[in-house]
Amino acid sequence: MPPTTNQTPASGPEQKSTVAPALTVRHLSVFFGGNQVLKNTSLDIAARAVTAIIGPSGCGKSTFLRAINRMHELTPEARVEGEIRLFGEDIYARGVEPVVVRRRVGMVFQKSNPFPTMSIVDNVTVGLRLNGVRQRKLLAERTEQSLRMAALWDEVKDRLHAPAISLSGGQQQRLCIARALAVQPEVLLMDEPASALDPLATAKIEDLILELKKEYTIVIVTHNMQQAARMSDYTAFFYLGELVEFGPTAKIFTSPAQKRTEDYVTGRFG
């Protein structure tokens, strides 16, 4: 039976267990129509750390991720049971707007998706402008700040008005990260952010994530276990919609407690 009670790593890197978690997930189940895709999942996501979500295709990883910022609601007949709290606040409470949640919990997708008709700077500031920010000075400051945080500023500072699609694949993905950061989220969700990139671009994204975790809580879905081992502090293994094991990454990848985890990380299935 997968663990259903609250899972908080007993000890983790840099003694993070004494800090309140960024996200607490309790008995989360997700349904699409009659199909239950995620089953009774409970865990705590540590603040200012990287948590990797791994598991074979169809195990519910992306569904779990999307439930954290209510993106699953864009799918017809999607339904959630259970609770997710963001720094103590129930994101599914009556009256909480999904758009507000998504401002606090940003998301970066597998395929980079800069708005193709917009320039680099417009892509970065679109979230701010949609939220009513008009001051040029603030928009300029936030543009530079976000692009610097995304390690893209030096590469684009002289062509901010160039089309976003003129950037390389890796640059476009970093632009999408900058766009997410511009609205100053508290949590950043990443669904296989480097899977479509070459090794050099992937390395840049991974380095960026390691920098970002100093300020942000990051949850990343990845098929690449070595990437999870390189980048994450904690790892959650899902299988057939259930959370099988959750703990410090070093433990999951050197001595997992559950046989299914062992079999998955050693390539015996999945």
Partner 1 sequence: METHFEMELDGLKQKLLLMASHAETAVNQAVQALVQRDSDLAVQVKENDRVIDQFEVEIDDLVIQLLTKAPLATNLRLVTVAMKISQNLERIGDEASKVAKRARDLSREAPVKINLDLPRMATLALNMVKAALDAFVNWDSAAARAIIPRDKEVDALNKQIHEALAKHMVANPDTIGRCLNWMVATKSLERIADHAKNVAEEVVYLCEAQDIRHSGAKGQGAPAPAPGA
Q: How do strand 78-86 and strand 89-90 relate by DSSP bridges?
A: antiparallel
The Cα–Cα gap between 51 and 28 comes to 17
Judged by CB under 8 A, does residue 266 bind partner 1?
yes
**Residues 122 and 81: beta-carbon distance below 8 Å:** no
Question: Which residues are 25's β-sheet partners?
Answer: 43, 84
Site string for partner 1, 191-230 (x = CB under 8 A): ----------------------------------xx--x-
β-bridge mates for residue 119, sequence order: 163
By beta-carbon proximity to partner 1, the closer residue of 6 and 255 is 255
Task: Mark the segment that binds partner 1 (CB under 8 A) among 55-63, 161-169, 184-192, 248-256.
Answer: 248-256
Amino acid at 80: V
In the bound state with partner 1, the residue whose beta carbon lies nearer, of 129 and 259, is 259
Pattern 122-161, binding to partner 1, x per CB under 8 A?
A: ----------------------------------------
Nearer to partner 1, 15 or 226 (CB): 226
C-beta of residue 248 within 8 angstroms of C-beta of residue 236: no
Nearest-approach distance from CB 230 to partner 1, in angstroms:
10
**Which region holds residue 263: left if phi is over 0, alpha if psi is between -120 and 50, else beta?**
alpha
Number of residues that bind partner 1 (CB under 8 A): 17
Which residue shows structure tokens 């959630």? 80
The span of 31-39, 150-158, 170-178, 251-259 binding partner 1 (CB under 8 A) equals: 251-259
- Per DSSP, the residues of 197-253 read S-HHHHHHHHHHHHHHTTTSEEEEE-S-HHHHHHH-SEEEEEETTEEEEEEEHHHHH
Which listed residue (129, 157, 161, 259) binds partner 1 by CB under 8 A?
A: 259
- Smallest gap from Cβ 262 to partner 1, in A, equals 4
Q: Does 168 bind partner 1 (CB under 8 A)?
A: no
Residues at the site binding partner 1, with contacts judged by CB under 8 A: 225-226, 229, 253-259, 261-263, 265-268
